Amino acid sequence: MSFALFEALFGSKVRARLIRFFILNAENEYTLAEISEKVLLSKSEVSREILKLKKMGFVHENARKRVKAFQLHPNFPFTPELHSLVSKSNVNIPHQMFHKLRTVGEVKLILISGVFLNFPKGKADIILVVNNVSRQKLKGVIERLEAEVGRDIRFVLMDSEELRYRLNMLDRFLIEFLEGPYQEIVHKIPELKRFIAGLKK
């Protein structure tokens, strides 16, 4: 299922984003303010849609220090099916969404795995190799991706020098990541290509 089709299926970006968020964070409860911050939607948009989702039995309301908090209802009958749809749609996120990462500095490498490939055992969701990184820009891009995906993104950031060091040290984390499923968004590091070719022998 494509990312756009998931939104069309549920009638609006707001509803699709909230369903994705609650499905992927089922164990936690959140106030309206926290949800609004996580999904990058206004409190009024979230509030209106939460009321509808509550009537459907999708979420239930708790009181946290006299503040309303919401959580995925544990007995909602279609949770497994929705989880499957969410996983499939996250795998089909348009690659142009990752291209925004190109603006954060001199980008040498972007590899994706984990949530983007429906690989829960993945060591990370994104590996970034960026020289002269703008951490403020990176923070904004990651927050936007997290809002779209519906959960926190596990990313590893390093520069070319650190990557070279990790390759020379046969870094276990890096090897395990590269031995699992991943996709290349940007790959401008010849020595890494040779390293990967050696792993496949």
CATH number at residue 20: 1.10.10.10
Choosing from 60, 91, 122, the residue where a domain stops is 91
**Distance between CA atoms of 29 and 118, rounded to whole angstroms?**
24
**Distance between CA atoms of 107 and 101, rounded to whole angstroms?**
8
pLDDT at 195: 85
pLDDT at 185: 92
Choosing from 48, 63, 91, the residue where a domain stops is 91
pLDDT at 95: 72
Choosing from 68, 91, 114, the residue where a domain stops is 91
pLDDT at 94: 66
Pair 66, 120 in one domain: no
* Block mean pLDDT (10 aa), the chain, length 201: 74 91 94 95 95 95 86 94 87 76 94 91 93 96 92 95 93 93 92 82 65
Residue 160: give the domain boundaries.
96-199
Pair 56, 103 in one domain: no
User: Considering its fold, how many domains does the chain have in total?
Assistant: 2
% helix, strand, coil for the chain, step of 5:
55, 20, 30
Pair 57, 135 in one domain: no
pLDDT at 100: 86
Pair 103, 35 in one domain: no
Pair 61, 145 in one domain: no
